Amino acid sequence: MVGVRPAYVWDASQTDGVPLPERPTPHLLSGEAPAGLWDRLATLVRGDGFSLSLAEDAATLRGANGMTDFGSRMVTVRDDMDAAARVKTLAHELAHIRMHEPAFDTVLHRGISEVEAESVALMIGAAHGMDTSIYTIPYVSTWAASASVSGATAGDVVQATGERVRRTAVTILDQLPTAQIGAGDPPGLSRPTPAPGIAATVPTQSSARAAEQLEALTL
């Protein structure tokens, strides 16, 4: 070819130095879900005009744990996960419905959309005593890094979404007639009084962990 000069490159085996950090890997939640939370979230999903179905495994969803199809108005969640993982995923998909409807005429970077949806799921889980950190923190940090542009850090991305996440999470929690942790809500999620029909319980250690988890997302 004309105008092309040979160049020499190094193979990775010929280099040394500090290894590049590996991206954290989300781990599926295990165990049971808070009583009644799946059914209540499912009611909200259907109330927003979406049908809900279960998929046999991740392969059915092209590797995802859940999926929201705005065209067919359908939410699908993997059925081969423990109940805790299923309910966290359903909260994530409900957040997509509430925040990322194409009719809103707002197109977000995929990374920002995923950060928002998973952060809402974290808050919903925390309000019900669930510790989702082994999945949420790696998931959010990875997507936030992918959305970092113009010198912004992953923490900047998480902080920039904070108010939208808080509003969405509070709205959903106020619509859930479930037993929730009251005064121990994560930062930015406190409400003056529990909504009608919502039983506030004494804050537990899991709610304190949730506060630490949210702070960790912005580091």
What are the tens digits of pLDDT across the range 39-85? 999 999 999 999 999 999 999 999 999 999 999 999 999 999 999 99
Please give the angle made by the CA atoms of 40, 46 and 50, to the nearest 5 degrees. Answer: 140
| Average pLDDT value over all residues in the chain | 79
Q: Which amino acid is at 47?
A: G
In 155-207 the beta strands, taken as DSSP E runs, fall at 180-181, 200-201
**pLDDT above 70 coverage of the chain, percent:** 64
Residue 195 or 23, more confident? 23
> pTM of the entire structure?
0.74
Strand 51-55 to strand 200-201: parallel, antiparallel, or no bridges (unpaired)? unpaired
Angstrom distances, CA of residue 28 to CA of 78, 131, 132, 177: 12, 12, 9, 26
Condensed to tens digits (0 to 9), the pLDDT of residues 173-203 reads 999 999 998 533 554 445 554 444 443 333 3
DSSP state, residue 175: T
Sheet holding 66-69, edge to edge: 51-55, 74-78, 66-69
